[in-house]
Amino acid sequence: MNEDFIGELEATLIYVRNAFVMGQCDPSRVTENIAVDEMRHMWWLADLIVKRGGKPVMEHRELDFGGDDLRSQLERQIESETEGIELYKQHIEAIDDAEVVGVLKHILDEEKRHRKEFKMRLEQLTE
């Protein structure tokens, strides 16, 4: 679960930074709101980790923000959500703990919605 926690931590940091760099626009507001969702996912995962005797790991990989332009940021955010979706699917299949699987399924549904929101904003740029 720490791998999932780190993914949520990285997404939070990337999305918060990108929301500021994007300036005041619809994609910025959406990115900021999704960053809040990612923080909530961190909370849920940390709770599961601690309940099972562990500690959340706060270390993360080098962050890839996707550059400084809106298009590349949205593309990177879509990629990040896709990576998370695939990881959650794998963990749901591998874990034999009903509580953990229930939380991961809920997070998975939200990650799919996040990816859809980012894709919609990217499509609007090409219109």
pLDDT digits (tens, 9 = 90+) for 2-43: 999 999 999 999 999 999 999 888 999 999 999 999 999 999
Q: pLDDT-based confidence at 83, cuts 50/70/90? A: very high
Q: What is the mean pLDDT of the chain?
A: 95
Long-range Cβ contact pairs of 97-105 (< 8 A, separation 24 or more) = 99/48, 100/1, 100/48, 103/44, 103/45, 103/48, 104/4
d(CA 59, CA 53): 19
Per-residue pLDDT at 127 exceeds 80: no
Superfamily for 2-126?
Answer: Ferritin, core subunit, four-helix bundle (1.20.1260.10)
Give residue 44's Cα distance to chain centre: 13
d(CA 2, CA 23): 32
41-79 pLDDT, tens digit per residue, is: 999 999 999 999 999 999 999 999 998 899 999 999 999
Q: Where are the domains of the chain?
A: 2-126
85-97 pLDDT, tens digit per residue, is: 999 999 999 999 9
d(CA 64, CA 73): 9
Per-residue pLDDT at 126 exceeds 90: no
